Amino acid sequence: MTPDRKIAELSALIERYNREYYVEDAPTVPDAEYDRLLRELEALETAHPELRAPDSPTLRVGGAPLAAFEQVEHKVPMLSLSNLFSDMDAADFAARHAELVAFDERVRRELGVPHVGYAVMPKFDGLAVSLVYENGVLVRAATRGDGATGENVTDNIRTIRSLPLRLTGTPPARLEVRGEVLMLKKDFERLNAAQLAAGDKPFANPRNAAAGSLRQLDARVTATRRLSFFAYAIAEVEGAPWPATHQGEIDYLVGLGIPAVPPALRPVVDDAAGLAAYYEAILAQRATLPYEIDGVVYKVNQRAQQDKLGFVARAPRFAAAHKFPAEEALTTVEAIDVQVGRTGALTPVARLAPVFVGGVTVTNATLHNEDEVQRKDVRVGDTVVVRRAGDVIPEVVSVVLARRPMRAVPGADLFSPAEVALHDAWRLPGQCPVCGSHVVREEGEAVARCSGGFACQAQRAQAIRHFAGRRMMDIDGLGERYVEKLVDYGYVHRVADLYRLTLADLVAMKRRADAEDSGEPQDDSAPPEDLFAAIDDKTPTRWAENLLAGIAASRRPPLARLLFALGIRHVGEATAKTLADYLGRLDYVRRAPAALLAALPDIGTVVASSLADFFAEPNNEAAIDALLEAGVAPADEHVPSAALVPLLAPERLLARLGVPRLTETRAAQLASQVGTLASLAVLDRRAVIGLPLPAEVVNALADWLDEPANRAALTSLATLADELADAAPQGEDGAAQPFAGLTFVLTGTLPTLTRDEAKTMIEAAGGKVAGSVSKKTDYLVAGEAAGSKLDKATALGVKVLDEAGLKALLAI
């Protein structure tokens, strides 16, 4: 027999045994026989590498480990489901039923039909993945990621024995399947037993175990964990008809050999009562199911009706998740600490007696702010109900007042001062717990802040940590712990100091830190030789070299990241990008007055003055200068965007100067009369009063100009605006911005472009992409399965383009 025939035969046999074992749960051969066949196949493939098939069972044992997961873009975005009844007391049967009636009514009203069928299914507590089969062969698997881009985990997914590497029956040319990777309860228990036996830490719950296994860079490790996959939808099918119903989709996938829940667990129901009955039935079965679930999912069964309902923001309107009430537990509040954030925000945190809830042990829970503590009246010593909100963030739900410690002390009707302090209502301290500066709470704001600013050790450490973070300067190896130590020991006072650290500094710091952290608790018991052995080790030097390399590598960040890294209040990733895109150079951002910044899209008065104030503060100026001196400089500075020029029109700037009574309309009239900002700046009081505008307006303007600082600000604003306009691309380059001032809305799936690509193209041409259609929308770009946005656009008379139309418009 030729090797290729032999390989094909072995592969088929092994996959059949696989199915028997993992899918049908009825093995026909002993494990030893299976292993023997697999080894034989492996040997043959090693001898004839060119004959290794893309669906060979040997792929299931994993190959060489990866350095990192590759990013992959989802052709069809992976959406999340909106949650029914997210914050109500879902334990109440009647309320639950009422909500289901409302959901069903909404759907029927939107569709204009008397009755809708819903395909219902358990909601798995696992990880969503997307699988691509081409001509029946599994070619790619990706995690959800942010919905648009995920990680390529193909090697790991191939190790899932119950998942076919080649589809059975007649597979379509291309098939994209959405489903959940999870670990069955029994596999989880077995894994944890093995972990314990090997002296490794057990996983907290099946979900974590599945996540940890799927995220292994070495697929050989994943192969030793037993993961499962359950399909819940088709994202795309080519070369075969797309089933007309959701239930049909699942049946079709099962027919191709892809696992899904048994039909009894995924019926179609036809009204709110059916949804309710299904919810109650699954809730009752929850403990007996072989996997963890956290609720149920309702989907409109007919695909035609799904398309009609369309999408809102990032969630389909034809589907909803109905989560089970979060598991709750009782514990006690041992202390209420106050944390100081990067912006000085003081956050009370409840330190709790450890309690296992929702799959993890919780010891901390944020109390958000003083009002929240007061509203719930949480006190030290209280017994509280804790749950994990959205199954992630621990939350104190309420206080069990009946269990509040009695103040009564036996034999007395008074109680000791200590008792009083322990059980009194909690109040935020008037001083910062770290630096002692006084605490201020702005009128109408929920958060209280430490006024220490730069002087506060906590704020400084947090600011430096923020600076080094992954989405900012991305300094490899500089974690929270070491930032704190560097600040504590005085090596780093401001961010520029990072760039002056030496090898010796870092080694000394690490030794001290390690000695403090590990040595302290067992200082006396540890023999001195051990300590020396640790210090003599080469590791601190290697670690320090790596960190220095990381710091050096961060010297040329994109401007947007540098701006974000500075930690200016109200300036996050998006605002930093706006600033970088429009102004192009750090110097322009630093010099821009608030009125100019407020002329940029999505920047209003609050953000603009936060920026202007930041750059005017001498400490900050010095810190930035020091950074530049240390060799930190944005790598991508460019001339201001051509789209900036229309934003700097005199009337826009005038309206943003903060002159009393100078509204947008008045500013436009004023601009047409004086022409430029510079000419207004030189007008004397009489000339201003003489302008043909209402007396109250000209008087307010004249008063404002009488203030020398204001007049100077106007002059410098005029100068900078002119400078920016001159520096921006002119004439022909300006024509490269055919979409300047136009607003687009995207809907549906475009044939070749992803949403992100289309957005980038539009923005590159100077256009703006908005989320929803309104009268101000210039064009709607509609793709396949466009929903309500298309209807609205038609109703409002907004022009509708397809992808070809968009490209044609760009080409002009």
Partner DNA sequence: CTCCCTCGAGTTCT
Partner DNA sequence: CTCGAGGGAG
**Residue ranges that bind DNA, judged by CB under 7 A:** 80, 83, 86-87, 203-204, 208, 212, 312-313, 339, 341-345, 347, 349, 360-366, 368, 389-390, 392-394, 444-447, 569-576, 601-608, 771-772, 774-776
Q: How far apart are CA 703 and CA 779, in angstroms?
A: 44
> Which residue, 274 or 358, is less far from DNA as judged by CB?
358
The single residue of 75, 123, 485, 538 carrying the catalytic annotation is: 123
**462-489 residues labelled b (16+ CB within 10 A) or e (exposed):** bbbbbbbbeebbebebbeeebbbbbbee
Pull the structure tokens for residue 506: 């870092």
Was 291 annotated as part of a binding site? Answer: no
The least distance separating DNA from the CB of residue 329, rounded to whole angstroms, comes to 12
> Which residue, 416 or 605, is less far from DNA as judged by CB?
605
Report how far apart, in Å, the C-alpha atoms of 503 and of each of 155, 492, 512, 542 are: 40, 14, 14, 10
> Which residue, 510 or 652, is less far from DNA as judged by CB?
652
Please report where in the chains the tokens 């072989």 appear, as a residue.
Answer: 290
Was 537 annotated as part of a binding site? Answer: no
Q: Write out the E strands in 611-653.
A: none
Was 25 annotated as part of a binding site? Answer: no
Strand-strand pairing, 174-182 and 127-134: antiparallel
> Which residue, 312 or 727, is less far from DNA as judged by CB?
312
The least distance separating DNA from the CB of residue 520, rounded to whole angstroms, comes to 22
The least distance separating DNA from the CB of residue 74, rounded to whole angstroms, comes to 17
Please report where in the chains the tokens 């201001």 appear, as a residue.
Answer: 640
Was 323 annotated as part of a binding site? Answer: yes
The least distance separating DNA from the CB of residue 609, rounded to whole angstroms, comes to 8
C-alpha 274 chain-centroid distance = 35
Nearest to 754 by CA among 789, 781, 788, 774: 781
> Which residue, 175 or 603, is less far from DNA as judged by CB?
603
> Which residue, 389 or 633, is less far from DNA as judged by CB?
389
Q: How far apart are CA 508 and CA 705, in angstroms?
A: 58
Report how far apart, in Å, the C-alpha atoms of 129 and of each of 142, 191, 231, 269, 323 are: 6, 22, 9, 27, 20
Was 308 annotated as part of a binding site? Answer: no
Nearest to 509 by CA among 532, 494, 489: 489
Q: How far apart are CA 322 and CA 277, in angstroms?
A: 13
> Which residue, 7 or 191, is less far from DNA as judged by CB?
191
The least distance separating DNA from the CB of residue 122, rounded to whole angstroms, comes to 18
The least distance separating DNA from the CB of residue 793, rounded to whole angstroms, comes to 12
Q: How far apart are CA 217 and CA 152, in angstroms?
A: 11
Was 144 annotated as part of a binding site? Answer: yes
Was 26 annotated as part of a binding site? Answer: no
Crossing angle of helices 708-727 and 695-706, rounded to 10° = 90
The least distance separating DNA from the CB of residue 306, rounded to whole angstroms, comes to 20
Was 31 annotated as part of a binding site? Answer: yes
What is residue 354's DSSP assignment? E
Q: How far apart are CA 718 and CA 595, in angstroms?
A: 11
Was 379 annotated as part of a binding site? Answer: no
807 catalytic? Reply is no
End-to-end alpha carbon distance in the chain: 64
> Annotated binding site, which residues?
31-35, 80-81, 144, 180, 299, 323, 432, 435, 456
> Annotated binding site for Zn(2+), which residues?
432, 435, 456
Active site residues: 123
> Annotated binding site for NAD(+), which residues?
31-35, 80-81, 144, 180, 299, 323
